Every structure is written in structure tokens, then in C-alpha cells.
Amino acid sequence: MIKKISHIAIVVPDLEEAMGFWVDTLGLRLQHVEYVPDQGVDVAFLPSGESEIELLEPVEPDSGVARYMHKRGPGIHHICFEVEDITAVLARMRAAGVPLINEEPTIGTGGKKIAFIHPRGTGGVLVELYELTAEEPARRLERLNDMRRRLQRGRRVYAAGIIAFLSGLRTAGNGQSEKKSAATKQRGSEV
């Protein structure tokens, strides 16, 4: 029923700065970025084997994630498990009296069906469940293109590394010096 750890989400004050460690130093590859309006966060996905590190930068000061970071500081925010049948898992949680943040699955990043279990029921860890849907790859691409359009329209000031990634300079994941120079070239550009 539980397929794998989908991702471990980490709240960071600044995606670009965070990628200095996770990408340039540790060597993970930036695979996807998107803005999630209902959570007020920019999200970067960095695959590691079958799982991903999900970096969350709160970009709206009154969002839940922003409040979390303000209270607790940066660090691990939640752990997400991919499950086969999210409705069945939620039913099992309810039967066991585990408090749920989402009684019903909602649509999360990339179009996946997600639900959060309250940390009260897990010993202090915010746990996300997600069920992959067939539309997810298309949704991800849509969100990525949306981010590119926002970039072109100059809606926000993006971090240099994200600009490089969205411009296709950071997708190859080749040498770290190449990535660094690409990011450096873009550094300081405001769009």
C-alpha cells in the first residue's frame, strides 16, 4: 500500500542559496520548479534515486509555510509517502483515530492527490500522502511553463539559479562548474 518515500520537504529562506548546498555541493540535480499559489511557495524538486528532496521557499509572508519558518526556522517540514490508494489509507487512519489535516484528498503539486496527517497523530512529524495520477507529468510541465511565462512577464524577481534553470541552462546536470558559471552569468539579473 505504501510504495516509497516520495519526498522529504525542507523549508528554506532562499531557494538559490539552498541550491548552493543541495545542487552545487551535494550534487543533486534540479529537475523541476513551480510556484504553488494556494500554499504561497516556490518549490524546487531535486531527485535522489526514487525519491526527491523538495525545497520550499515561502514567497507570501502570511502563508502557512512562512509562519512555520518564522516559528521554527528552516529545516525539515514534512515527509511524503507515495501510496497506491489514498482513499483507502485515509479510511484506515480515520478508523485508527489518527487526526487528519485533509479528510479528503486534495490536488497538490503536479496534479497528484494529496492529504496531510496531523503531527499529533504521528509523534510530531507532518506526514503527507500522495497518490500518483495519470495527469501528473502533463501537470508538471504545465506548471513549469507557467513559471517560465511568469519569468518572461517579469512578475517576480527570481533567484539566479532558477532563472538559469528556466532558461534551460541548468537542466543538463553536467559539470558543477558549468552550472555555477551559468548561474553566475545570470546572477543579479532581475526579471
Contact window for Co ion (CB under 5 A) among 2-10, 15-23, 31-39, 160-168? 2-10
Q: How far is the CB of 188 from Co ion (least distance, A)?
A: 31
Q: How far is the CB of 10 from Co ion (least distance, A)?
A: 10
Q: How far is the CB of 45 from Co ion (least distance, A)?
A: 10
Under the criterion CB under 5 A, does residue 65 sit at the interface with Co ion? no
Least Cα distance to 84 among 19, 2, 162 occurs for 2
Do the beta carbons of residue 73 and residue 122 sit within 8 Å? no
CA dist., res. 60 & res. 176, Å (int): 31
Least Cα distance to 4 among 43, 40, 37, 48 occurs for 48
CA dist., res. 38 & res. 61, Å (int): 13
Q: Fill in the per-residue mask, 73 to 112: x = in contact with Co ion (CB under 5 A), - = not in contact.
A: -------x--------------------------------
Under the criterion CB under 5 A, does residue 9 sit at the interface with Co ion? yes
Question: Which C-beta is closer to Co ion: that of 81 or that of 182?
Answer: 81
In this structure, the number of other CB atoms found within 10 A of the CB of residue 26 comes to 12
Report the DSSP beta bridge partners of residue 114.
Answer: 106, 130
Q: Which letter does DSSP use for residue 17 in this model? A: H
Question: Which C-beta is closer to Co ion: that of 57 or that of 128?
Answer: 128
CA dist., res. 54 & res. 49, Å (int): 13
Q: Which letter does DSSP use for residue 121 in this model? A: G
Contact window for Co ion (CB under 5 A) among 4-12, 23-31, 44-52, 149-157? 4-12
Question: Which C-beta is closer to Co ion: that of 12 or that of 80?
Answer: 80
Contact window for Co ion (CB under 5 A) among 24-32, 121-129, 159-167, 169-177? 121-129
List residues binding Co ion (CB under 5 A): 9, 80, 128
